[in-house]
Amino acid sequence: MMPRSARRTSTSPYRTALRLLPILPLVPILAHAGEFKVLGPDALSLGGAGVARARGAYAAYYNPGALGFAPDIARVAVSADAAFRDVGAGKHLDRLADLDWDEAVDDPLGSEAAAVIAEILRIPNDAGLLLGPGGACAVQVKSFGTGLFLTSEAASYASIDTTRTAQSPPSDPNSFANNESTLFLRGIAIAEVPFAYGHRLNLAKHGMLGLGAAIKLMYGATYENAALVTEIEEITEDYEQFEEESYALGLDLGALYHLPELPLAVGLVLRNVNAPEFDLHTGGTHTEELQARAGLDWELIPAILSLAADLDVTENETVLRGYKSRMLGAGLDWHPVTWFAARLGLMYNLAAATGARNGPVVTGGLAFGFRKLHANIAAAAGLQEGEFDGQDYRSEMRVSAALGSYW
């Protein structure tokens, strides 16, 4: 909820809000940052929007500047999250599952080889599967925030050998019998414990500004492995041999501005400002580079209906080769009584056309309960469908559930 001083209505609230639009094209588009993970059902149900409405327990993650507006003495929340995304791989896997790759390699002149070759040449370079389990145990006490926030990202994808696809005898270097198409597994799981603080500045007739920072203790576990498609069973062997664990310190900065005489707040968070690094078993490093996200929270009908929206300022990399993420999400929060809220939203990937092939994702959720104990649930589903072994599924699916308390 907005502070009372921010709920006073202006004679022209929409005109005031429109003043923000000209600054959006001036925000630079950065590259090579990790994907911004959505944690908790509150944000998920609203299309991932959490930067400007991060109140209480989750403020340490979404925007430490919001801690300056913490409406309660203390809040605690525990949540579990899961995400699945099929980036153009499912339909190809389904077709290849009906073919015999080993037979095709053994008989590169046969019809099975012709069918396999035709299918693998249709697979886009950034096709793959993404999984993202996560969770949080978040705590806010007055203007301070901490907790344990778990995020992860695992990808499975293939590097297709498009050179050795000739239907010719094995003596030919370009014969399919010598094909070296490779399956990759990559992933990173990060546990972070932030120590966050936010301070509110009263700017009198110019509104209120919250500024905050979080210093994070971070643990990262990375995994990288690869195997030829014909030797796929080897990719899961000796798992620990390809895993590496390391620690780092991270820094997040956040700001939240409440406009004067209007129930509208705009926020900006910069996560991983110092680009913390984690070791890889190959001897290299994985860098969690700067993530920047802006958001707004507008009470259309004070204490009854609000609109929240977030936009990634950075175009973000993922562990899936070639697949980028720059999310735009928004949603409506209808809270007619203190013990119940219903939410509906939409999120969309604004990255390159191939990266956005999953189309819009519809989100929604419910919140119910009282101050001492309340529950939130949320789910999201892509509008596009995939099929595997005769079973239809959504190209993107997410779920989140949480229990919380505040006083």
Q: Which residues pair with 289 in a beta bridge?
A: none
pLDDT of residue 227: 86
Q: What is the pTM of this model?
A: 0.88
What tokens appear for 4 in the block?
């009372």
pLDDT of residue 322: 84
CA distance 296 to 294: 7
Inter-residue contact 385 to 348 (CB < 8 Å): no
Residue 265 phi/psi, 5° resolution? -125, 140
pLDDT of residue 236: 65
In degrees, rounded to 5, the angle at the alpha carbon of residue 388 between the alpha carbons of residues 47 and 166 is: 115
pLDDT tens digit at each of 407 positions of the chain: 333 333 333 334 334 334 444 433 333 333 334 789 999 999 999 999 999 998 789 999 999 999 999 877 899 999 999 999 998 888 888 888 888 888 998 999 999 999 999 999 998 878 899 999 999 999 999 999 999 999 999 999 989 999 999 999 999 999 999 999 998 899 999 999 999 999 999 998 999 999 999 999 999 999 998 888 877 666 666 767 889 999 999 999 999 999 998 999 999 999 999 999 999 988 889 999 999 999 999 999 999 999 999 999 999 988 888 888 999 999 999 999 999 999 999 999 998 655 446 689 999 999 999 989 999 999 999 998 887 777 888 989 999 999 999 88
CA distance 30 to 103: 46
CA distance 134 to 61: 13
CA distance 64 to 181: 45
Q: Which residues pair with 250 in a beta bridge?
A: 216
Structural domain boundaries enclosing 344 = 4-406
Beta strand pairing call for 374-382 and 327-337 = unpaired
Q: What's the structural domain count of the chain?
A: 1
Q: Write the CATH number for 390.
A: 2.40.160
> Locate tokens 């907790």: which residue?
147
Helix (H, G, I), strand (E, B) or coil at 218: strand
What tokens appear for 363 in the block?
């989100």
pLDDT of residue 31: 36
